[in-house]
Amino acid sequence: MTTKSPIRPRDRDTIISALRAGVVPRIGLQHIQVGRQREIGALLQDIERIGSGGSSIRFVIGPYGAGKTFFLFLVRQIALQRKLAVCQADLAPDRRIHATGGQARGLYAELVRSLATRTAPDGGALKNILESYIQKTAERAASSGGAIEAAIKEGLGDLREMVGGYDFATVVAAYARGYEEGNDDLQNAALRWLRGEYSTKTEARADLGVRTIIDDAAFYDGLRLLARFTRLAGFGGLLVCLDELVNLYKLQHSQARNQNYEQILRILNDVLQGTTEGIGFILGGTPDTLLDTRRGLYSYEALQSRLAANSFAVNGLADYSGPVVNLPNLTPEELYHLLERLRDVFAAGDPERWLLPDEALHAFMDHCASRIGEAYFRTPRNTVKAFVDLLAIIEQNPGADWRALLGAVDVAEDRGAVADHDIVEGEGDPDDELATLRL
């Protein structure tokens, strides 16, 4: 297997370092993507819908190590190429969709800080979006002979009709004024407000003359306003990626869990009823996070009825039009193709520098199948990390024999079978996402 073009050294090193650490690289995903074509196709339709003014929500479900985060990053990359703005964050104990102690505002702030566009893919794109809007409005004003400030206020008329929109529009206008006047303090104050970084209304009123701030209660309304504004600035809309939905599932207080689920229900209803526009949500979680009727999303009856699987999707039939996207296991062919791609990444796209022959790839797959059975199809992260570790040893020790290395691992695993049993059989810590096949 060869790639169409050489892999840049920076991409190669980033991909390898990330995969060896058990995390998803932020660049070069196209070099290691295999399978999941129908799932990607479904999300691509969502991206097109957002870009045309619609909305979407998807729950990407798969076990630990199945590739949820990779899938979210890949969709994010596609959305950026389709001229959407994208923000992404992991849910955590201090970052929730609903809260009263600042956790929802913290999540909003993290999302806005991560805001990315095609020209600013690494985040921090809020300033770019604001200045894009100002420049477009200035061009409009120049062609009509009107004043820029009047044109900006007129262009924000739609925002003022939304919940919290009056102050949002006022702050955008304040940034535009600061931009035109070269007033850095006013621009910074406006950015702070738009990022949800003001903790008191008094401070915001003193700096910007507004009466509200984006607080816990305004989390979803703030994202809707941001989505509408990105469209006014010339982008297709906003895609919001929220990973680690399991952190809501882990909340010990049932009332806190239900309040977060209620907020998810509100978003889901708005999308299904078509009452919001230009915004999409992708939430990544484990099967328990969805299906557990005691603590998961299914414990909230209204969500269970809306997220239930299509009863006709049986005997290999699949429905990708519903809100839940289950990540299937990789087939043996797809996994082999993935190993080929990893070998090619190590060689920077040059077949002459391959560290292992095709025979070694087959032997490695046989090794995985014999050591941990079909589980390695369900958790490609474990297999990927193990294979990258093997390539790293071969690369740094040119005289090493891959046959001897796999044989040595078999002996070591046999000696430590009892110690390894918890990891192989899934009886260890369920939160240990980085438990891997030991190479």
Let me know: does 394 contact 356? Beta carbons within 8 Å: yes
Asked whether residue 412 is domain-assigned, the answer is yes
Q: Domain of 344?
A: 1-35+330-439
pLDDT value, residue 377: 54
Residue among 51, 42, 110 at smallest CA distance from 239: 51
pLDDT per residue rounded down to tens, the chain (439 residues)? 444 567 888 889 999 999 988 888 888 888 888 888 899 999 999 999 999 999 999 999 998 877 888 899 999 999 999 999 999 999 999 999 999 999 999 999 999 999 999 999 999 999 999 999 999 998 888 888 778 888 888 889 989 999 999 999 999 999 999 999 999 999 999 999 999 999 999 999 999 999 999 999 999 999 999 999 999 999 999 999 999 999 999 999 999 999 999 999 999 999 999 999 999 999 999 999 999 999 999 999 999 999 999 888 888 788 898 999 998 777 888 889 999 999 999 999 899 999 999 999 999 988 887 776 656 555 677 788 889 999 999 999 988 999 999 876 554 444 444 333 333 333 333 333 333 333 3
**What pTM value is reported for the model?**
0.85
Alpha-carbon separation of residue 212 from 9, 208, 243 (angstroms): 48, 10, 29
pLDDT value, residue 14: 92
Asked whether residue 54 is domain-assigned, the answer is no
What does the block give as tokens for 195? Answer: 């990022």
Virtual CA dihedral for 365, 367, 369, 373, nearest 10 degrees?
-140
pLDDT value, residue 43: 96
Q: State the first-to-last Cα distance of the chain, in angstroms, to the nearest integer.
A: 24
What does the block give as tokens for 314? Answer: 């049986």
pLDDT value, residue 134: 94
pLDDT value, residue 418: 35
Asked whether residue 228 is domain-assigned, the answer is no
Give the H/E segment covering residue 28. none
Q: How many Cβ atoms sit within 10 Å of the Cβ of residue 418?
A: 7
pLDDT value, residue 240: 98
What does the block give as tokens for 118? Answer: 């095609």
Asked whether residue 406 is domain-assigned, the answer is yes
Asked whether residue 351 is domain-assigned, the answer is yes
Asked whether residue 350 is domain-assigned, the answer is yes
| Total of domains in the chain | 1
What does 39-97 look like in DSSP terms, one character per residue?
Answer: HHHHHHHHHHHHHTT-EEEEEEE--TTSSHHHHHHHHHHHHHHTT-EEEEEE-BTTB-S
Asked whether residue 3 is domain-assigned, the answer is yes
Asked whether residue 122 is domain-assigned, the answer is no
Cβ partners under 8 Å of residue 204, min gap 6:
193, 198, 210, 212, 213
Residue among 17, 72, 64 at smallest CA distance from 435: 64
